[in-house]
Amino acid sequence: MKIRKNDNVTVISGNAKGKTGKVLKVYPEKHRVIIEGVNIIKRHTRASQKNPQGGIVQREGTIHVSNVMLIDPKTNEITRVGMKVVKDETTGKKRRMRVAKASGEMF
């Protein structure tokens, strides 16, 4: 999966189309992400020691990763993402870096 925690993404389809936010959590086995302030759901909670009142809690729900696109850090527009193998000068090891298709920026 090419989207990671703390990436800035835009929702490209669904109810939250056009909204942008930071990725809070990634579920790679389910191909889903949680984005800050997007896809707010209402969760009915039972009273407990932590929440003695109980009631309805609002929080972010998951979105399938195919419905979001990464925002290019250079141009601040959505972009497709590719991978490039780069050799690290300090350690001499090869690393896979993400590359924005639009601008060629590595991140």
Query: Taking 90 as the threshold, does the pLDDT of residue 98 lie above it?
Result: yes
Give the pLDDT of residue 89. Answer: 85
Give the pLDDT of residue 101. Answer: 93
Query: Taking 90 as the threshold, does the pLDDT of residue 90 lie above it?
Result: no
Pairing mode, strands 40-45 and 94-100? unpaired
CATH for the stretch 1-71: 2.30.30.30
Write the DSSP symbol of residue 106.
B
Q: What is the pTM of this model?
A: 0.83
Give the pLDDT of residue 5. Answer: 97
